Amino acid sequence: MNNNIPSTPGKFKMDKPPYIHRFRWHYSSLAKLTFWSVVFLGLIVVFFFKSPSTSPPSPNSDLSRRSLKTTSWGGPAWEKRVRSSARIRSPNGLSVLVTGAAGFVGTHVAAALKRRGDGVLGLDNFNDYYDPSLKRARQALLERSGVYIVEGDINDVALLNKLFEVNPFTHVMHLAAQAGVRYAMENPNSYVHSNIAGFVTLLEICKNANPQPAVIWASSSSVYGLNTKVPFSEKDRTDQPASLYAATKKAGEEIAHTYNHIYGLSLTGLRFFTVYGPWGRPDMAYFFFTRDILKGRSIPIFEAANHGTVARDFTYIDDIVKGCLGALDTAEKSTGSGGKKKGDAQLRVFNLGNTSPVPVSELVSILERLLKVKAKRKVMKLPRNGDVPFTHANISFARREFGYKPTTDLQTGLKKFVRWYVGYYGSGKKGDH
């Protein structure tokens, strides 16, 4: 755009006037200057208003605002940092790229891997779907334990290629995603961008890598959609998603099948059931219920049709982390190399839940006891915008494959969450988040 603006718009010959005519010269020059200034400003205005019409109308402006933020990466110092973070420090350790490392589950998984001596490199785009300062605080936490989070997007092919060039990751723990069920009506393209396009980009890099890493990634219990048969088993149908979020996760499972089939990538999908705990996501009910109860605001309690109970199989973060590590440790090697399949590779999908659904009203009662504040409950009908009334995981497959056994009940887990919440935000009377 700047190229279209004359670089010297005020270029005009300024006659050197005789000293005696200085006053008049001053006036005429001023008139000329004003004239050219108006022309110049006019040009700017014309270009400013014209330029948007030269690009297609942008329904994705919100999307582009939140993605592919160009941050600087590369250079010897940066590569050294990447290598150091990804360096394996225990015998038989793994070298894991954790995407979404500044996210709730990502932070906990990255920290756990680091603790046991695996090499861990994080990747996160720090988008503002929810308060990025919480992501920065998690980043600082990981930084202290020696995990570096590269700031970048999973859609950035050059960056991903560079990461694999600098370090040959044995595993990718892919937890980056656009989460949330209701936000999909506000910004549907962000789900396609992260959960489908981003996933494909990442899998392309993984299938080209030599050696190919094994990929463990976050699907979702929401793929069970409108199913009514409980508990949900991995073999149940998953073709009736109730939200675009669920549909993109289901698409991810099919895309995983394709990359496993064509390229021999080892792929494990994890269907998380309502994960909660310290450093959790502020868009989740247990989190904003805590905030709003402390602030004396009313909280919406949804009920299903005919005053039916809405219940969730709440799963504590430490149990989820154990499940993630179990899946990682039992992942077999990918069989392909250089983009070519050499043999059949592992393809798995696991429920990671708690097998103990709790009504949302009971969640609120526990929070009231822990916070010692009475909640202002506003009972409402569950809107038909993506939430399902009931989730309940059958976890026998994960138990059989890697001994997955959740041990934290909701009361115990919420106690730990509330302790963290009050420590992090205070008792909630001041400030907003």
Ligand X SMILES: *[C@@H]1O[C@H](CO)[C@@H](O)[C@H](O)[C@H]1NC(C)=O
Q: Note the residues at the interface with ligand X (CB under 6 A).
A: 231, 233, 394, 396-397
Q: Shortest approach of ligand X to residue 216 CB, angstroms?
A: 19
Residues contacting residue 172 through CB under 8 Å, at least 6 positions apart: 96, 97, 99, 202, 206, 213, 214, 215, 216, 217
Q: What CA–CA distances, in Å, run from 223 to 90, 142, 354, 357, 368?
A: 37, 31, 17, 17, 31
Asked whether 108 and 317 are in contact (CB, 8 A), the reply is: yes
Nearest CB to ligand X, comparing residues 40 and 397: 397
Q: Tokens in use for 258?
A: 């394709």
Asked whether 195 and 178 are in contact (CB, 8 A), the reply is: yes
Nearest CB to ligand X, comparing residues 233 and 346: 233
Residue nearest ligand X by beta-carbon distance: 394
Q: Shortest approach of ligand X to residue 394 CB, angstroms?
A: 4
Residues contacting residue 338 through CB under 8 Å, at least 6 positions apart: 208, 210
Report how far residue 78's alpha carbon sits from residue 81's, in angstroms, rounded to the nearest whole number. Answer: 5
Report how far residue 172's alpha carbon sits from residue 333's, in angstroms, rounded to the nearest whole number. Answer: 12
Identity of the amino acid at 370: L
Asked whether 299 and 375 are in contact (CB, 8 A), the reply is: yes
Q: Shortest approach of ligand X to residue 350 CB, angstroms?
A: 10
Burial class (CB in 10 A: 0-12, 13-18, 19+), 51: exposed
Nearest CB to ligand X, comparing residues 187 and 394: 394
Residues contacting residue 327 through CB under 8 Å, at least 6 positions apart: 216, 268, 270, 348, 350, 398, 402
Nearest to 85 by CA among 125, 126, 118: 118
| Residue 245 is among the residues annotated as catalytic for this protein | yes
Handedness of CA 61, 67, 68, 71 (dihedral sign): positive
Catalytic residue (choose from 224, 245, 263, 404): 245
Could you give the residue numbers annotated as active site? Answer: 245
